[in-house]
């Protein structure tokens, strides 16, 4: 469904040591607007020599950036936050054009990215070591925290600015340099962010952006002797491959992988209120969010009322081009996501699920659109309950025992996020203790904040992404023993 038509004659380049690099025999690929399936620009793809150059230059960037005081770095990162807010509409237009989400969602992404830079500017000043009481009166024992070195980071297409910000801001706040490889589908926002970092005072070689064949880029960067840490957000299969490659070279890796978040809805909730919250969260960004509510377990006593109201609200969503103010849900990011929705929906229906609304591509439109879909009484063996949906299909199943449904919620290989809605303190405590996920929201779909650690368990991740813990993941720990030379 893609087009060879490229409307913007100026190709998008790589950013190497502050230079925009295009042409010179490098290959390119079209960047597609998912709302129209038309090409909007062409993207330069890196050669292997470009990747080696970026990794080598990152060493110089690391030396220059890490030698600045945390206070000086904080002032620069605060300036980046202000510049992001200043360029809100530039970022939002690029995100919507290349990724498809609504302008309202894109503006929220811009705001959250600025908030992240601002928080890390402050937290970067608070990376403290400690003094440890010594066994000897003549020896001082210190624990020191030092930036780990150049980072190779890989960010996805669903939040092109927010995920790039997460990678860049954590690395810079810790004193590291970074070579970022964002997704080729939505390249403009990460490049503009890197340009703002340099504009605000980050050394040009401390933040570089490359695009190219994913396998070639990851192998070149991870195996480079100049790179000391890997940060990846994406699918479980790719995460496994990158983790193995990082392990081969004994490099620290932080992985945020897929999710299949359960939502447990007890029978003591306000049906309309929770249904509205669930609609907003499920169909935001057309469901293409790793922590999106994915499997709805609703108490049998309210199941019919809840699913009926949820389906009614889903059917009323205005689906269209994200740059239209009236649009409430934009397209999927790729044509292949439509095929994924078809397969998951058909599998569930074949096994006995009922379609309450949706269930089909919007064939009358150009672009990669899929109707908001609600499936009721989905059987336990349906693929959609086992696999990450990453799209606007909401499967519902019944339960009547909280402990039993917690076991069902924990059965999958994922453990990124989970949600529950109840007014019972007893239920809250049981859910908080028993639900196996790195982040849980009780009576809320909020699952991440700059100041909170973000991590997956089981196959959903390795290491910590945000919060003080995420910053510490970019540090080496050094033990220092200092003896008095005049002590006997």
Q: How many CA atoms does the CB half-sphere of 304 hold within 13 Å?
A: 1
Strand-pair partners of 104: none
290 is catalytic: yes
Which of these, 304, 146, 163, 311, lies nearest to 229 by C-alpha position?
Answer: 146
256 is catalytic: yes
Distance of alpha carbon 347 from alpha carbon 344, whole angstroms: 5
| Edge-to-edge strands, sheet with 354-357 | 354-357, 373-376, 393-399, 293-299, 261-265, 417-421, 439-442
Distance of alpha carbon 73 from alpha carbon 79, whole angstroms: 10
Q: What are phi and psi of 203, to 5 degrees?
A: -55, 140
Strand-pair partners of 395: 375
Q: Which of 256, 328, 387, 388 is labelled catalytic?
A: 256
Distance of alpha carbon 111 from alpha carbon 451, whole angstroms: 15
Q: Which of 176, 197, 200, 290 is labelled catalytic?
A: 290
* 8 A C-beta contact, residue 2 and residue 335: yes
Kindly report the number of other CB atoms within 10 A of residue 391's CB atom. 25
Strand-pair partners of 207: 178
Which of these, 248, 326, 328, lies nearest to 286 by C-alpha position?
Answer: 328
Distances (CA, A) of 295 to 151, 242, 383, 387, 394: 35, 28, 11, 10, 7
Active site residues: 256, 290
């Amino acid at each position: 469904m893609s087009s060879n038509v490229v409307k913007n004659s100026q190709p998008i380049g790589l950013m190497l040591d502050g230079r925009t690099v295009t042409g010179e025999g490098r290959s390119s690929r079209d960047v597609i607007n998912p709302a129209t399936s038309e090409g909007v620009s062409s993207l330069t793809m890196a050669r292997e020599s470009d990747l080696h150059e970026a990794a080598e230059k990152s060493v110089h960037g690391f030396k220059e950036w890490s030698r600045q005081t945390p206070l000086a770095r904080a002032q620069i990162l605060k300036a980046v936050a202000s510049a992001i807010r200043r360029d809100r509409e530039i970022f939002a237009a690029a995100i919507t054009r290349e990724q498809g989400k609504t302008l309202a969602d894109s503006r929220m992404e811009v705001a959250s990215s600025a908030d992240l830079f601002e928080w890390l500017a402050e937290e970067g000043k608070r990376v403290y070591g400690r003094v440890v009481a010594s066994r000897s009166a003549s020896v001082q024992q210190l624990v020191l925290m030092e930036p780990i070195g150049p980072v190779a980071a890989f960010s996805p297409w669903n939040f092109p600015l927010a995920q790039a910000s997460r990678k860049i801001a954590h690395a810079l706040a810790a004193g590291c340099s970074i070579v970022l490889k964002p997704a080729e589908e939505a390249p403009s926002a990460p490049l503009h962010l890197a340009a703002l970092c340099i504009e605000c005072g980050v050394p040009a070689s401390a933040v570089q952006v490359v695009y190219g064949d994913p396998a070639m880029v990851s192998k070149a960067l991870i195996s480079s002797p100049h790179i000391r840490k890997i940060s990846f957000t994406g699918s479980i299969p790719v995460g496994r491959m990158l983790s193995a490659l990082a392990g081969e070279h004994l490099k620290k890796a932080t992985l945020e992988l897929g999710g299949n978040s359960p939502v447990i809805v007890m029978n003591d909730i306000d049906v309309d209120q929770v249904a509205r919250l669930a609609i907003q969260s499920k169909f935001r960004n057309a469901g293409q969010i790793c922590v999106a509510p994915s499997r709805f377990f609703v108490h049998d006593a309210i199941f019919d009322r809840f699913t009926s109201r949820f389906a009614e609200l889903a059917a009323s969503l205005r689906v269209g081009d994200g740059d239209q103010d009236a649009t409430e849900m934009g397209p999927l990011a790729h044509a292949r996501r439509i095929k994924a929705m078809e397969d998951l929906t058909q599998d569930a229906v074949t096994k006995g699920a009922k379609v309450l609304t949706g269930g089909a591509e919007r064939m009358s439109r150009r672009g990669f659109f899929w109707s908001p879909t609600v499936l009721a009484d989905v059987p336990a063996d349906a693929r959609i309950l086992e696999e990450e949906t990453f799209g606007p299909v909401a499967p519902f199943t019944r339960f009547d025992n909280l402990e039993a449904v917690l076991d069902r919620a924990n059965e999958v290989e994922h453990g990124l996020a989970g949600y529950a809605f109840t007014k019972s303190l007893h239920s809250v405590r049981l859910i908080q203790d028993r639900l196996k996920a790195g982040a849980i929201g009780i009576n809320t779909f909020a699952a991440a904040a700059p100041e909170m650690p973000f991590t997956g368990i089981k196959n959903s991740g390795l290491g910590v992404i945000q919060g003080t813990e995420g910053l510490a993941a970019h540090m080496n720990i050094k033990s220092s023993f200092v003896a008095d030379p005049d002590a006997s």
